[in-house]
Structure 1
Amino acid sequence: MTPFVIAIVLAAALLHAVWNAIVKSAADRTTTLGLVALGHVIAGGAMVLALPLPSAESVPYILISTVVHFGYYYMLGQAYQHGDLSVVYPIARGIVPALVSLWAMALVGEVLPLQAWLGIALIAVGIQLSNWNALRSGVGRSALLFALGTGVCISIYSVFDGIGVRLSGNTLSYWAWGAFLHLFIAGFVGIRRRKALSDLPLKVWVVGLLGGLVSMAAYGLVLYAKNFAPLGAVSALRETSVIFAALIGFIFLNEGNWIRRLGAAILMAIGVALIGLAV
């Protein structure tokens, strides 16, 4: 994997951590997630009008990804209702790299070398270590199941988007349509939360929509990288967003133990290096 592709995915991971920090700080996370989806719709809709259609071969992948994204938002919202973010998030994200690598091996024949798998394992350990105190306190059955369901959804749409964008003939068009079809997610949340939306301050609307734009930018970078690198490796690098989120929490929100988080960051950095040198 070239340094340029690694830099792109790490930039996406940082942006991903930023929008998750926005959701974490929200009083009503379900409504905020709906606004994040709406941010995708607005930007994606503008791009759809200006770009050509993606290839017909990629359309089923866009549709499958949209359905799975709906499941992802539902699972994530339920997980946050039953457990704290610091418990749910590392479980959900920690299982993704290995699952994506297995799906990619089964569906498109991408076989990672042992060194890359070791890198994935170090990143997974780093994810758990970054939130160890919260995880050690225990996790309820419902929170665990919804967190695992969230991770499975992430792994499925990651693989289907990786295949679809390679077939699309135009990464920007694939990205735009995937974002625009968040319309169904935003619409569902809008209907469910229509009373709350009418009372939301302007600041909440702005922050939520800004989070959507940041989220969309992050995933666009990931989609671009999937054209040039194995899906499992890209997914593993993207999950370094967890350590970025942990560092943001430590620096700006006075959360957690700096020694433990530094150790997690070192482990994940080694994992990134192993993946970068292996593929």
Structure 2
Amino acid sequence: MVVEPFIVALLLAAALMHATWNAILKSDQSDRLATFGVIMTTGTVMGLAAVPFLPWIEAAAWKYLVASVLIHVLYYIFLLKAYSYGDLSHTYPIARGMGPLLVALVSGRFIGEHLRGQDILGVLLLSAGLVALAIPLRRVAPRPGARFGLATLFAVLTGFTIAAYIIADGLGVRSAGSTFEHRLAYIAWLCVVEGPWLLVLAFALRPARVWTHLRRTWWRGVIGGLIANVGYGIAIYALVLGPMAHVAALRETSVLFGALIGTLVLGEPFGVRRVAAAFVIVVGLVLMNGPALF
């Protein structure tokens, strides 16, 4: 099954949104946990504004929604642990590259989506390209406290949670109901239930600092939250319209957009290796969304 060009365009837009809100979060120098909490809580507000106008989702969808929230909690834990032991440029590409690969490996047995041989090859190329794209261009001395093995372990665990919540949300939005409104309701309820916990944690750890931070830079998290939640909403809805492995792979092209933002906005070098990695990503996408070749 090939994803329609319109859905591909939507997912590339969602990937750009993912890279954008991560850039907003990364650029925060005062309190990233509080900003991340505002980003997620903005989704809660958006969801609460939407649910009164949407139908109730089917009962079968709630178990997937609860599972998704629990998996996301593990995702945050593993991601924060990975960042505490290693650099972003090491852990992020491993986690994001593993997600679509794992979804592709289990989609046939557990979801009933059987991919073509060229789809599997496309996912492999895309995942490899994403990892290669984000590897630092030159070696730097490890920062104090860095532990490469633990960073890699938690990055891999993060990749497993990414694959798990993609599958949970894919099954959830598909079982929420047959109409567009039912699927939108699943997305809204996920934002409501998942959203506030990081901000609650930030207040529990350092209430005075969080209040000061919010008074000065609350707008950063709100802007990031609008972008993040619209982007993930697009990704969830796309799980109804195409194979999960394709949707997961297309969404993780956020790594490519992140590299482009770093080059064009932050002035970071791109380099010949990253050009080659970008080419591999494009080849993978063409294989996954093109006519059958073998």
TM-score class, shorter-chain normalisation, is over 0.9
1:199 and 2:212 are equivalent in the alignment: yes
Task: Tell me: CA distance 1:57–1:35, structure 2 relative to 1, closer, same or farther (3 Å).
Answer: same
Q: Give the drift of 1:188.
A: 2.9
Q: Specify which of 149, 158, 161 is matched with residue 166 of structure 2.
A: 158
Give the equivalent residue in structure 2 for 1:81: 84
The superposition leaves residues 8-55 of structure 1 with CA deviations (integer Å, 9 ceiling, x where unpaired) of 111111111101111211223322221211111111111122222211
Q: Which structure 2 residues correspond to residues 130-279 of structure 1 after superposition, within 5 A?
A: 130-133=133-136, 140-169=148-177, 170-181=182-193, 182-200=195-213, 202-277=215-290
TM-aligned CA distance change 1:48 to 1:193, over 3 Å: farther
Per-residue Cα deviation, 1:206-261 (whole angstroms, up to 9, x for no partner): 11121111111111111121111110111011110001001100111112334333
Q: Which residue of 2 aligns with 1:63?
A: 66
C-alpha distance in 2 between matches for 1:14 and 1:148:
23
Residue 104 to residue 196, structure 1, CA distance change in 2 (3 Å): farther
Question: Hey, what's the Cα distance between the residues in 1 that align with 2:272 and 2:138?
Answer: 17
TM-score, normalising length: structure 1: 0.93
The runs of 5 or more residues in structure 1 that have no matched partner are none
Number of the residue aligned with 1:105: 108
* 2-structure distance, mates of 1:184, 1:23: 17
Higher Rg of the two aligned structures: 2
Q: Which stretch has the larger CA shift, 225-234 or 103-112? A: 103-112
- 227-236 or 249-258: which moved more? 249-258
Superposition deviation, residue 81 in structure 1? 1.9
Instruction: Kindly tell me the number of residue pairs found equivalent between the two proteins.
Output: 279
Q: Secondary structure at the match of 1:52?
A: coil
Cα RMSD, aligned residues only:
1.9
Q: Distance in 1 between matches of 2:129 and 2:218?
A: 34
Distance 1:41 1:23 in 2: 18
Percent of aligned positions that are identical = 38
What is the TM-score normalised by the length of structure 2? 0.89
User: Structure 1's 136 and 157: CA in aligned 2 closer, same or farther, altered over 3 A?
Assistant: farther
Cα deviation, residue 135, structure 1: 9.0
